[in-house]
A and B are shown apart, each in its own frame.
Chain A
Amino acid sequence: MAQPQAAAPRLAPEVAARLADHLLAAADDELVLGHRHAEWTGFGPDIESDIALSSVAQEEIGHARLLYQMVLGLQGRSEEEVDRLAFGRPPQAFRNAVLLERPNDGGLEPPPEGEPAWRGEWGFTIVRMVLYDRADAIRLETWASGGHAPLAALARTLAREERYHRLFAETWLERLAAGGPAAAARLQRVLDAVWGEALGLFEATDGEAVLVAHGLLPRSSAEQAERWRDEVAALLGGMGLRPGRGPAATGGRAGRHTPDLAVLLEEMTSVWRLDPEARW
């Protein structure tokens, strides 16, 4: 898909640098969650959902690529460096929200009847996906109505695929929540456990106020979080679930991660590290 080349307004260096930081965080979100989703390939609860989530994973990684390219452009670097930017950084240089690096088991014990092939908690994956994709939709809308034409155009393009991600996740959550008291209780436990880290999705990157002041971000992260809380509360309420409580668990946007990210990166970058100069 060719990106519309709207007359790119030249940004002041300070603004361009802040925007690059902001977009790097979003790109890292998409890459890291895309990798977690991809870990379900071959292990989904049914073949149809396995294929669908694998497809979503590819799309998230594709979105990360487009965002990394925009970051490189804002930093005056070549788009050729995109693999190095994605795979060549240590964990502390990643700016994704911590929620997204968590393994797919969600830190939960296998169910009592735990089959040997238990590869994770599908309910955790779906809850995380619902919470993230609602946040992502609000972020894309904010970019789309912002004053940087190339970013607004990209946001409208990405939103087309994100709409399906939301539909998939919310359709699944609704059915899991209707699966009886034990299923609902397990989902509620996940929601309560991840709530603080979900709010961490709205941790602002350094200097976000500059982007708000220049009209690139018509809504600050804090304002986006308010809207997200309302939307998510209504969505969960309709399924007999409730939002969690407590303050945001932040740090990811400042490069403070859990050991889970190092493990993820070790695996995700293993092929690239064999020969970083190789052309694929």
Chain B
Amino acid sequence: MKLAAIVPEAERVYAVFRQETKSEAHVHVGDVHAPDPQMALVLAKEQFARRDPCVSLWVVPYTAIEASGPEDAEMFQPATDKSYRFGGSYREQQRVYGRRRGA
């Protein structure tokens, strides 16, 4: 589904992604209202980079986001135990994902 279908004034809302260090992924940290992408980026800097480390920001218009719907949530639930697929028992995975989860 188009995320814009359920976000009010989606044409004026930009999702903001902050990268804390060069070795990490950009993470969605919130949204700003803005009339265009350049202004969204200017405003995002003070909303989301003033209290946390930041080396790079992205802004993405909500109108560009294709999203799974609430009714799709079941699709992500495995029918049988798939815990053997989880990477948690690998040290390198713990290092990468643990940090991202704030562990």
Q: List A residues at the B interface (Cβ < 8 Å).
A: 46-49, 51-52, 55-56, 164, 167-168, 171-172, 175
| Least distance between B25 CB and chain A CB atoms (Å) | 24
Q: Contact check: which of B35, B38, B47 meets A51 at CB < 8 Å?
A: B47
Interface: B45 (CB within 8 A) = yes
Closest CB-CB distance, A207 to chain B, in whole Å? Answer: 39
Asked if A171 contacts B38 (CB within 8 A), the reply is yes
Is A52 touching B47 in the complex (CB atoms < 8 A)?
A: yes
Residues 28-59 of B contacting A (Cβ, < 8 Å): 32-36, 38-39, 42-43, 45-47, 50
**The residue from B32, B42, B46 contacting A171, defined by CB atoms under 8 A apart:** B42
A48 touches B34 (CB 8 A): yes
CB distance from B22 to the nearest CB of A (A): 18
Kindly list chain A residues whose C-beta atoms are within 8 Å of the C-beta of B34. Answer: 48
Residues of B within 8 A of A51 (CB): 46-47
Interfacial chain A residues near B43, Cβ < 8 Å: 48-49, 52
Instruction: Tell whether, in the assembled complex, residue A167 and residue B46 are in contact, meaning their CB atoms are under 8 Å apart.
Output: no
> In the complex, what residues of A have CB within 8 A of residue B33's CB?
46-48
**Are A175's CB and B42's CB within 8 A?**
no
Contact B35 A175 (CB under 8 A): yes
Residues in B lying within 8 Å of A, measured CB to CB: 32-36, 38-39, 42-43, 45-47, 50
A55 vs B46: C-alpha distance in the bound complex, in angstroms? 7
Q: Within the assembled complex, what's the spacing in Å between the Cα atoms of A55 and B47?
A: 9
Interchain nearest-CB distance for B94 vs A (Å): 35
Docked CA distance A49–B45 (Å): 11
Q: Tell me whether B47 and A48 are in contact (CB under 8 A).
A: yes
A55 to B39, CA, bound (A): 16
Instruction: Offer 25 A-B interface pairs, CB within 8 angstroms, sorted by A.
Output: A46-B33, A47-B33, A48-B32, A48-B33, A48-B43, A48-B47, A49-B43, A51-B46, A52-B42, A52-B45, A52-B46, A52-B47, A55-B46, A55-B50, A164-B45, A164-B46, A168-B42, A168-B46, A171-B38, A171-B39, A171-B42, A172-B39, A175-B35, A175-B36, A175-B39
Cα(A60)–Cα(B62), bound, Å = 34
A71 to chain B, nearest CB (A): 28
- B43: nearest residue on chain A (CB-CB)? A48
A206 to B78, CA, bound (A): 78
Beyond the given pairs A47-B33, A56-B46, A171-B39, 16 more chain A to chain B contacts, judged by CB atoms under 8 angstroms and listed by A's residue number, are A46-B33, A48-B43, A48-B46, A48-B47, A51-B47, A52-B42, A52-B45, A52-B46, A52-B47, A55-B50, A164-B46, A167-B42, A168-B42, A175-B35, A175-B36, A175-B39
CB distance from B37 to the nearest CB of A (A): 11
Query: A170 — nearest CB in chain B belongs to which residue?
Result: B42
- Listed residue (B36, B39, B45, B46) with the most chain A CB atoms within 10 angstroms of its CB: B46
* Chain A residues near B32 (CB-CB < 8 A): 48
A52's nearest neighbour on chain B, judged by CB, is B46
Chain B residues contacting A55 (CB-CB under 8 Å) are: 46, 50
Within 8 Å CB of B50, what residues of A?
Answer: 55
B46 contacts which chain A residues (CB < 8 A)? 48, 51-52, 55-56, 164, 168
